[in-house]
Structure 1
Amino acid sequence: MTDTAAYDDLTDHLARMGALEQVAGLLNWDQETQMPPKGAAQRAAQAGAVASALHALAIDPRIEGWIAAIEADGPPSGAIAVNVAEARRLHGRAVRIPSKLAGELARVSAEVQMVWEAARPGSDLAAFLPALERLVALKRSEADCLAEPGEAPYDALLAEYESGITAAEIEVVFGRLRAGLVDLRARIAAKGAPPARLSGSFPGAGQMALARRLGCVFGYDWAAGRLDLAAHPSSSGSGGDVRITTRIDTEDPRECLYSTVHEVGHAVYEQNLDPDQVFLPAGSHASMGIHESQSRLFENQLGRSRAFCTWLHPAMAEAFGDPGAADPEALYRAVNAVETGLIRTEADEVHYNLHIMMRFDLERALISGALAVRDLPEAWNARFRADFGIEVPDAARGCMQDVHWAAGLFGYFPTYTLGNIYAGELHAALRRDLPDLDASLAAGDLAPVLGWLREKIHRRGRLLGPVELVTSAVGHAPTEAPLLAYLEEKYGALHGV
């Protein structure tokens, strides 16, 4: 029987840690959306102070005593087992990191992100690279502290985002996926057809109004969230406070609309986690790969489907007067145009994972020391030329385009493609279990999808690991096969290949 007093003490402690993590998230959200420019130095200090306080809670020696008391009469089960196991993992990682390093990582990450925000528009590598070099050095130190004997330092960072998988295992999966993507891309390119485009004027106010409407359609609870503009779209928070950001391109509304749908996928997941486990590990997301599966599923398989374009076309006409496409079929082709481009967040489904694979290789090299930060721009440009066949004109559209490295999120990038793989499995299962899915999408009715996801994914939180969670939802272990089959069927039909 579980020691109730010890478990209450442990969960109270974990809840304080969870609350502080959300405070850190709010500081970052404010930094991206509201913070005045002169607040930069104070914000970095605030981030460092919160990280130090969180680290102090994580290394508290009482955690080991509570766990021992809870497990004295045998291993716990269910949510109790998850909370105990996560407490052990968090404590085990934290005690390996010196308090000074924990605070310094948070402080420098906040500083470098602000340097990135200022330097990115002008491709100011002279300002950015020295700042990034400081952060990479700290991340290497963190990885060295966390790595188990014989474990690659990068894997120690990866484990923070995706448990139970190594970079070597990801490389094998990515290799199989890459072969299929490169072949599909080559067949589409051989056709030589120009990509379909939207035309017209798309004022920012109309984009934001339609973005809010899309949030409603995809189940975002506005009483528990808000939408703001930022340099990089994001989602943060959980439960009753989940905030999203997007960005606007007045010449092309797809960036705003699909970034919003993507972030709503993240947000709806967080809003529908088990409220009885708020601030606790059992009530958190299973992994970032699972998180990305929710956003990519919303954005691509559902949001870019032919059926949903039936709803989206008249909605765009209401927002802009001219939707930029003659009919729903023309819109469907425009939002699924295949084109080799520079920007990851604007990449089509055929190219997107190739962008991720490049970043995965480069960030592993940065953490291992095989690639020096000063050599990153040249390495990026050479790899982009080899993978995509085009030259990178400037750093803003090259190695400075993403916020992840500036924010210290090394190990995050591969979860996007893992999320796409999981989304491929979930989409196939949705179509199996919801035979009227297309009719629902055409009507802008996502209730059946949201109900299925709430039962199969959202409410289960971290009760299962990512692979086990997808397996329980779809009936078999996940592979890249459904994603490749979906892409072949969709883009094969669109391009006659």
Structure 2
Amino acid sequence: MTAFDELMAFQRDTSALGQIAGRLGWDQETVMPRGAAPQRAEEMAAIEAVLHARRADPRVAEWLDQAAPQDEVGKAQLREIRRAYDRAVKVPADLATAIARITSAAQGTWAQARADEDVSAFLPVLEEVVSLKRQEGEALAQGGDVYDAMVEDYEPYTTGAQIAAIFDEMRPRLVALRAAVLDRPEPAALSGSFDELIQMQLAQKLAITFGYDLNNGRVDKAVHPFSSGSGLDVRITTRTSETDPFNCFYSTIHEVGHAAYEQGIDRDYLLTPLGRGVSMGVHESQSRIYENQLGRSRAFTGWLFDQMKDAFGDFGIADADAFYATVNRVHNGYIRTEADEVQYNLHIMLRFDLERALMAGDLQVNELEAAWNDRFKADFGYAVDKPSNGCLQDVHWSVGLFGYFPTYSLGNVYAGCLYQALRAAVPGLDDQLADGDTSGATAWLREHVQQHGGLYAPREIIRRASGIEPGPEPLLGYLEQKFSAIYGL
């Protein structure tokens, strides 16, 4: 075997172990008994110790020095292995293990604190998570910006300053659009009761409609919807509310976007660094374009309206046009995952600024709730009513995902670029969506984005697919046009 072959064989075993760790995480979020949390924390710590040792194995450096890739794919494999190795060797093994242990335990503490509306029960463990993640960031940054080092895990080759510049460009137009929309009469909201078993049945139908392969996946319920796994085992979760079926349906479509990305990657890349989505921003571009530009379009909501009438009978919305307005209703709310397209990115900007301050040490954990509440009141104009609608609503910080939040809005920006190109490439798109046929759109996304996995850098894959330099203008134009039409601006 050549050095390249030996390196790739080693990498496949490491990736397989990583998949096992991910499956433990899926189990913890879905079916694990609550009392198993302390043991699961030890299990996660043990497998992280093995993974870290492999990622930082000195043989990897030797193989990298000796390997001679023959093509573009081989060069990309080495690029990603080298990037992961360079990061792994900077983080002490005991620190990586400690982070895995505390974040597994913190997840359960967060869930209970959220259920009890008790921020004080969560803050001590969050303090530990933040402290350990700062140490990790400092080790990775080696004198540079700690938050930049965190972002690198989720959106390679991007800095906090670059993200802040994009957000500064977006904010004025989003705020102006929100003000104009909220000054107009609000469309009717859904009311009544919607059987949760029927919701799950329709959610499964929606998953299939958007191309999710259930031979290599499954749909379960969780407190916080997510997608897990890659390659031949890609699982999603959703959640139900008796009074809000949209939460279930659009969470499902969103997570299918993530899962379709993983299922669509070239199988030749299975269990290699290229066999997963290249970044969370590109990942979010898929989930957001599935959920919003496709799933909330006038064409597709017309089909969904008929599906809901068949499933639930008359549910109080007069016709497909009224249903479209209801689906896209802009309204006050606290929850990021339930936010409309106009306000969603403002929720992300709040979290981005707070977590950046936490990593810089400018904001202390015991100040987080007050800082969140003050910022929310300033940005949205009304006060947070309870912690589960405030700083306890998201799981991300409990599991150490600092640097993750801004990728949601980067994903929206990327989705805007992709949708512009998609509409030009698939001229019959609306007619297809009106029939509940997403195949034209999903096939285009699979060809131009998903199949490539990690072959190209994040901005490069969006540039190749859309034909333009990634930026917020297509997204902002789409939002202004769509909501001006709905609200008669």
SS of the aligned residue for 1:406 comes to helix
Give CA-to-partner distance per residue, 1:370-417, whole Å, 9 cap, x none: 100011000000000000001001111100000000111000000000
Kept after mapping to 2: 8 A contact 1:47/1:110: yes
Q: 1:184 aligns with which of 158, 174, 177?
A: 177
Which amino acid in the other structure matches residue 350 of structure 1? V
Segments of 5+ residues of structure 1 without an aligned counterpart are: none
Local SS of the residue matching 1:405: helix
Counterpart check, 1:58 vs 2:21: no
Which of 471, 474, 484 is the matching residue for 2:476?
484
Measure the CA separation in 1 of the matches of 2:263 and 2:359.
34
Following TM superposition, where does structure 1 have runs of at least 4 consecutive aligned residues deviating by more than 3 angstroms?
A: none
AA partner of residue 63 (structure 1) = V
CA contact (8 A) 2:227 2:237 kept: yes
1:173 aligns with 2:173: no
- Paired amino acid for 1:47: M
Asked if 1:274 is matched to 2:271, the reply is no
Residues of 1 paired with 2:12 and 2:39: CA distance? 26
Alignment match, 2:213: 221
Deviation readout 1:213-251 (Å, 9 max, x if unpaired): 000100000111111111100000011111111111100
Residue pair 1:201, 1:320 contacting (<8 A) in 2 also: no
The answer on whether the counterparts of 1:143 and 1:157 sit within 8 Å (CA) in structure 2 is: yes
Secondary structure in structure 2 of the residue aligned to 1:40? helix
CA shift, 1:88, in A, is: 1.1
Sequence identity (%): 51
Q: Which residue of 2 aligns with 1:95?
A: 89
Per-residue deviation, 1:76: 5.2
- The 2-side partners of 1:283 and 1:247 are apart by 28
> How many angstroms apart in 2 are the aligned matches of 1:176 and 1:37?
44
CA offset at residue 326 of structure 1? 1.7
Work out whether residues 199 and 325 of structure 1, in 8 Å CA contact, stay in contact via their aligned partners in 2. no
CA distance in 2, matches of 1:316, 1:330: 14
Paired with 2:170 and 2:82, the residues of 1 have a C-alpha distance of 35
**2:16 matched to 1:19?**
yes
1:166 is aligned with what amino acid?
Answer: T
State how far apart, in whole Å, the 2-side matches of 1:324 and 1:413 are.
Answer: 36
**How do 1:216-365 and structure 2 match up within 5 A?**
216-365=208-357
Deviation at 1:195, TM superposition (A): 3.7
1:108 aligns with 2:105: no
Structure 2: runs of 5+ lacking an equivalent:
none
Q: Following TM superposition, by how much is the alpha carbon of 1:8 offset from its aligned partner in structure 2, in angstroms?
A: 1.1
- Secondary structure of the residue that 2:228 maps to in structure 1? strand
Distance in 1 between residues matched to 2:265 and 2:209, nearest whole Å: 19
Distance 1:113 1:21 in 2: 19
* d(CA) in 1 for partners of 2:277, 2:287: 13
Which string of whole-angstrom CA distances, capped at 9 and with x for unpartnered residues, describes residues 335-384 of structure 1?
A: 10001211101100000000000000000011111100011000000000
Deviation of the 1:433 alpha carbon: 0.5
Q: By how many angstroms is 1:85 displaced?
A: 1.2
Q: Which amino acid aligns with 1:132?
A: L
* C-alpha RMSD of the superposition: 1.1
* Cα distance in 2 for residues equivalent to 1:148 and 1:344: 33
Deviation of 1:19 (Å): 1.1
Give the CA deviation at 1:190: 2.4
Please state if 1:131 is matched with 2:125: yes
Distance in 1, matches of 2:39 and 2:157, equals 37
Match of 1:162 in 2: 155
Shift of 1:323: 4.0
TM-score when normalising by structure 1: 0.97
Q: Report the more deviating stretch, 462-471 or 316-325.
A: 316-325
How far has the Cα of 1:13 moved from its partner? Answer: 1.2
Paired residue type of 2:74: I
Letter aligned with residue 52 of structure 2: H
Match of 1:360, SS state, is helix
Find 1:69's aligned residue among 60, 66, 82: 66
Structure 1 position 189, deviation (Å): 2.0
Contact 1:198–1:331, Cα closer than 8 Å, also in 2: no
- How many pairs are equivalent? 489
Aligned to 2:12, the other structure's residue is in SS state helix
1:146-161 aligned at under 5 Å gives the runs 146-149=140-143, 151-161=144-154
The counterpart of 1:49, out of the listed 46, 50, 53, is: 46
Shift in Å at residue 324 of structure 1? 4.1
- Deviation string 1:300-334 (CA, Å, 9 cap, x unpaired) is 01000000011101111122122442211111011
Question: 2:418–2:465: 8 Å Cα contact kept in structure 1?
Answer: yes
Distance 1:56 1:366 in 2: 29
Q: Match of 2:110, as an amino acid? A: W
Partner SS, residue 236 of structure 1: strand
Distance 1:172 1:12 in 2: 41
Matching residue's letter, 1:175? D
Distance 2:8 2:313 in 1: 53
- Give, in whole Å, the separation in 2 of the partners of 1:322 and 1:243: 33
What is the distance in 1 between the residues matched to 2:32 and 2:200? 21
Task: Select between 384-393 and 61-70 the one with higher mean Cα deviation.
Answer: 61-70
**Counterpart residue type for residue 382 of structure 1:** D
Could you tell me how far 1:24 is from its partner in structure 2? 1.3
TM-score (norm 2): 0.98
Please say which of residues 463-472 and 350-359 is displaced more in the overlay. Answer: 463-472
Does the residue aligned with 2:234 lie in a helix, a strand or coil?
strand
- Asked if the contact 2:231/2:275 (under 8 Å) is kept, the reply is no
